[in-house]
Amino acid sequence: VHNKVMGTQAAELFTEIDKLRAQLLNNVEVITDCQRVDEEISQEILTHIENIILGIVTSLSKGEAPVLTLPNRSSWANVSFDSAIGLQMSSGASVSVIRSDCPSSVTKFAQILKILSVIYRLVQRNSYATKRDIYYNNTQLFGSQTAVDSIVDDISCMLKVPRRSLHVLATSKGFIAGDLRYIEEDGTRIDCHSSSAAVAVSSNIGGIKNIVSSAKFVLIVEKDATFQRLLDDDFCTKLSPCIIITGKGMPDVNSRLMVRKLWDTLHIPIFALVDADPHGIEIMCIYKYGSVAMSFEAHSLTVPSVMWLGLLPSDLQRLRVPEDALIPLTKRDESKLGSLLKRPYLTSQPDWQKEMELMQQTRVKAEIQSLAAIAPDFLTSIYLPNKLRYGGWI
């Protein structure tokens, strides 16, 4: 009898989630598999790099100072919003010119050439390196890891190919757990629910194959602390089958690629659990709509179907979260909230707007941990199960 009761409870638990999934499947545009063969892309990259070098040699032979042009990756003016794809780089994007005869940009010019030569060799030999390897290859020239990271993204944007096609990998900071098994490119079998600890998100998402999961939903968790709490409280078993993933704050590209890969493979609802503050909302928007800096790779990074599960500003009132668990908005929060409300994608999200306007009016924010002020296990035993059962997402 116990099992039968558990079975009906589980069935009821997922009614709303199943309805949401049916809606999402109706809206899924069948994305034709236009993944071009790796060899083709590799050949194009090599040719493209050769042409850049040829341009430099030509300038030198004419006695001119060579320049490199890069698309500008930090301006909202360069992106357009498409509800099916997220933020995308516009075709007429403005560019910045890196001159070799100008003291302020000569170092960057040299760094770009150095990294182009590293990429050329990697692609030619069909081997991979991490961004860290590249930095340690010449610490003096690069000066910092961030310089390398930024230039690799610039090159990816300039050559119009995803970073993985440049054979450059990044070590992941995200973690994943729950009902999920897959095989990595090198043949390693990964089982995310065989251990109480989480599995680190793969550094090579493009190479993952044979994804097996019967999960009903994916829960993106903003913070590592909350993610660990869910693991400790055995959330994945209580709400089995499901998958939880965290990018530990601002998500890295691998965490975003992983969420996208799960969506493309499983087509199940994806929910976000973030702090009820402007920073949390911004993180959720990055998973859903993408970021300006990576807009050139939007079509492989964003998941427009992401739903906001919590912590909603309206939840704070509804659940009567104790006053002392609420934090007043700072000036910085208020200006971030104002700028979020002006973003192009929010016009299509009136429910999100309402929640953000409520935050503006009440002038308070709260962390997910604030729910512990109601009861220590409130998040995992009451809040999340009820939200998921009764469709408390927007």
Among the listed residues 111, 100, 96, the one whose alpha carbon sits nearest the alpha carbon of residue 144: 111
Q: If DSSP states are collapsed to H, E and C, what string results for 318-330? A: HCCCCHHHCEECC
Query: How far is it, in rounded angstroms, from Cα 330 to Cα 363?
Result: 9
The answer to whether residue 287 is catalytic is no
Q: Contact at 8 Å (CB) between 218 and 269? A: yes
Of 136, 289, 345, 383, which is the active-site residue?
136
Beta bridge partners of 199: 176
Residue with tokens 């690069």: 142
Three-state DSSP class for 284? helix
Residue the block writes with tokens 């680190």: 200
Distances in Å between the alpha carbon of 94 and those of 73, 75, 79, 90? 9, 9, 10, 9
C-beta contacts of 374-383 below 8 A and 24+ residues apart: 374/319, 374/320, 374/321, 374/322, 377/233, 379/226, 379/229, 379/230, 379/233, 380/229, 380/230, 380/233, 380/235, 380/238, 381/233, 381/238, 383/310, 383/319
Q: So which residues are the catalytic ones?
A: 136
